[in-house]
Chain A
Amino acid sequence: MSRPASPRRSSFSRGVFIGTIVFLSLPLLVLVLYSFNESKSGGWTGFSVKWYVKLFTDSPQLWRAFGNSAVVALGSAAVATVIGTLGAVAVNWYRFRLRGYLRTLTFMPMILPEIIIGVSLLVFFSGVGLRLSLFTVFVAHVSFNLPFVFLLVLARLEEFDFSIVEAARDLGASDGQTLLRVILPISTPGIVSGFLTAVTLSLEDFVITFFVTGPGATTLPLYVYSAIRFGVSPVINALSVVMILGTVLLTWSTRNFLKYIAAK
């Protein structure tokens, strides 16, 4: 009775956890199962990979949307990583005007619901007369990616002491050399995880993109959205499975890459 509760004995929390995992994974398992179903809809009629064949060989619009997504994700992540990293270096190690302002500004987009950012950007773009296109999608993605890169790099920099920068300066390094030879190398894990987080968030985003996209600028989530509106589609089942595998693979390799860097 009075023995400390061990994990095996805490049967209530264990039951809830197992139930939760089933709840979380079951829908995804159903998608996997149905992606191999031969019939287009209704019950199980037999195993088939024809939806995967259709996905890879006969879905030009889907791949165009994927191309748009890839361009926006890599482009916005690259810009957000450069700007966000510099911002984090400034906030962590230097004193300048508007330091508190920048900290608040990088915090706010992360807490506001996505729809607010989407709506305000749409109103803004129309106000300044910028036509909605893949470019406006790119601008929006940089805005919501930047704070994440900033925070991840900042978290990495906070592990280091300012004396690193001081030592570089004492040894005669210029500001540029200090940045390129000292600060950036030690921030690499933060920069890499910031960049990959930005790519993932960008590929993932539906709500903000929905508001700021224009004709011809369909991204993959927008394509999935329009497909869902027409009901269940086996090609989308197959696409889901590919995307789940892709994310798991990407995350797994990121972790290993970061471990590799940390071990160096």
Chain B
Amino acid sequence: MSFLSVRDLRVHFPTIDGVVKATDGLSFDLERGKTLGIVGESGSGKSVSTSAILGLHRRTNAIVSGEILLDGVDLLKVSDEDMRRRRGREVAMIFQDPLSAMHPYYRVGNQIAEAYRVHHDVSKKAARARAIEMLDRVGIPQPDRRVDDYPHQFSGGMRQRAMIAMALINNPSLLIADEPTTALDVTVQAQILDLLQDLQRDFDAAVMIITHDLGVVAEMAHDVLVMYGGRAVEYGATKEILTHPEMPYTWGLLSSIPEVDADPEAKLVPIPGNPPSLLNPPSGCHFHPRCTHRDKVPGDLCRTVSPELTPGTRGEGHLKRCHLANPDVVYEREVLPEIAPDLVEGR
């Protein structure tokens, strides 16, 4: 049994226009000390799924089903009271925009100390000392002075460090980072990613990192889960997925990003069309209206039948959701020469 085991997670929002299936049958596992990267475009269900793990969906407007087993306990079955005790202590979250995630009227130190005092019966003084210690740990210079600053007095990178300090002050076993570096500049992003890796080693936490940046996933994650239209479309070890992707959407992501060391004259191959509406998703495979490889599948399969998440051609552990019979061959012959001609010649 894995440390975190999510099985068939569904988050549906009933609206007057119909049910929005924001997450539709998501399963994955995560061990302590490991990092899972969840990649997808806006509206693919990344954030909705992780909010469900934190129990942040209100029962009145969301229908959450499936299983979220954290250390053997199903988080969807525990009482609100129990969930409140676990939230912040066992499961903590780092948000994308630290300026809006922190309260502008309270001092940074107080906000961090409060997170500690909610879960520990300690004096204000002890909590403050702990906050200073954490600020120091995340690399804020002169923490005993900066602890009394307001969030606006911190730079973007420092705010994100303070957020990380707040998330880790209770020593959580599962840390969810939702686009932790999207709002930051590259040099600061590099600092924060290094810091997260350091802290993960120290705290032995399981980390889920949500991002749209495959580069961040490549550096940070042991496993990667690619989401599209509320479903996982490819799942496996990061190295395996990035070197032998078997789902046309993943190919599209790889071929549409320019890279700093790629041939600048090589053209970008965009994914045609737009992300699907989850209110009224395409039939069959959610990706088929944008898929350039659907003609290779006989019949009308892509349009009519939703493919299951099945093992890839290179064995267990690599799952993909696609009807293509020989995705490995298609990738080698058609996709790779387009996105990385230099790699093909080297073979």
A binds B: no
